[in-house]
Copies of this chain bind each other. A is one copy, B any other.
């Protein structure tokens, strides 16, 4: 069965048939196709194309179709629309009835509508998966608000922070990802149905009624744009790629921190796998795959950007290439997000190992700030501390082991209270501005995060 054969005298070349078939991937959209057919049939009845009886036949028939497809997702037809129409024709006795269903409609508006419904719904699922990670992050943050560890820049220990600050850094990145995904969903939810192939619907269907029935807040205001644009899919793929980038960074952190060199955290063995050769190995495969699969999210985005970029306005068959990258991105996220949730949920914070990594040079900034509080300008204080460190290095001692005289030789403002600068906890508590790492600042932040999660 073909939906377009009328004028053709020759069969399709087998190599084109193979190239052209989309059922392997668009059969995911079977449920949407059924729902759209149902709504469209009602609308055709409203405008008098279908009689009440015909409508009933179709609605009943579609229920059978739905049951059949749920059991046996189609694989042999050209595409999902052909499949649904074929099965419906097997179910309804009078071929004329089924044959009326596509009146005024084209695969162009039909496919775009189903794809948008599906994507909007799936984005909902992704949002929920992201939210779950945020929830575990927030829980872990609450119990690690006082756990000291080095904060890193340039992969080098910089200043003492608390572990909660890392977990919450990830939290906020994911929060922005959710905002982007919601934007993508909003753009997806414009109804193309009623645009026909390109010129609009000539039978007076009420597109706003269709939109309400199918869960679209608005209709596309322009029939050509409705069938030709794919920017909603590009926007989703962008959001997915950026989310992937954020997940990859989290995974990289966790892979390093759970290795022998850092030993800051461990996570449940069930998220590791072993080696076929080396019996001792416990490899962080879950995290590595989260990290590695970000590549395909970028690839999916570039794939569709490139394809759409090369086109003039109007539906072109190239646009059939919209679905696979989107489905791949959805699958990738739905595979990786739960693993990330599981790993973080099972995270054991190794407080004593973190503490071991707190060397006194991490307080160099505090030492400079000590001088600032004594009235020294910051640049001069920075320089003086640089010399303190150099001097300590020469002597082979820790900076706090230098005598007060030694210190004063480098900056006369050093006083006997200098030891107050050599305190990791105090260092953290001093960073008390909003967003900082003091206990109070973290508490404020946790409350903000709780509020964010209510959306």
Contacts and interface: CB of A to CB of B under 8 A. Distances in A.
A242 interface: yes
A90 interface: no
A112 interface: no
Interface in A376-412: 377-380, 382-387, 389-390
Nearest to A243: B231
A70 interface: no
A172 B221 contact: yes
Interface stretch (A26-34, A59-67, A113-121, A173-181): A173-181
Contact of A153 (B151, B198, B382): B198
Nearest to A303: B299
B303 A12 contact: no
Contacts of A284: 154-156, 317
A121 B383 CA distance: 36
Q: How many copies does the complex hold?
A: 4
B306 A318 contact: no
B199 A160 contact: yes
A144 B369 CA distance: 44
| Chain A: number of interface residues, binned into ranges | 35 or more
A306 B241 CA distance: 10
A337 to B, nearest CB: 9
A25 interface: no
A222 interface: yes
A295 B307 contact: yes
A398 to B, nearest CB: 12
Most B Cβ at <10 Å: residue of A161, A252, A316, A437:
A316
Contact of A183 (B166, B183, B207): B183
A327 interface: no
Given A156-B259, A234-B242, 7 more contacts: A8-B272, A13-B271, A99-B380, A108-B153, A156-B260, A176-B229, A309-B309
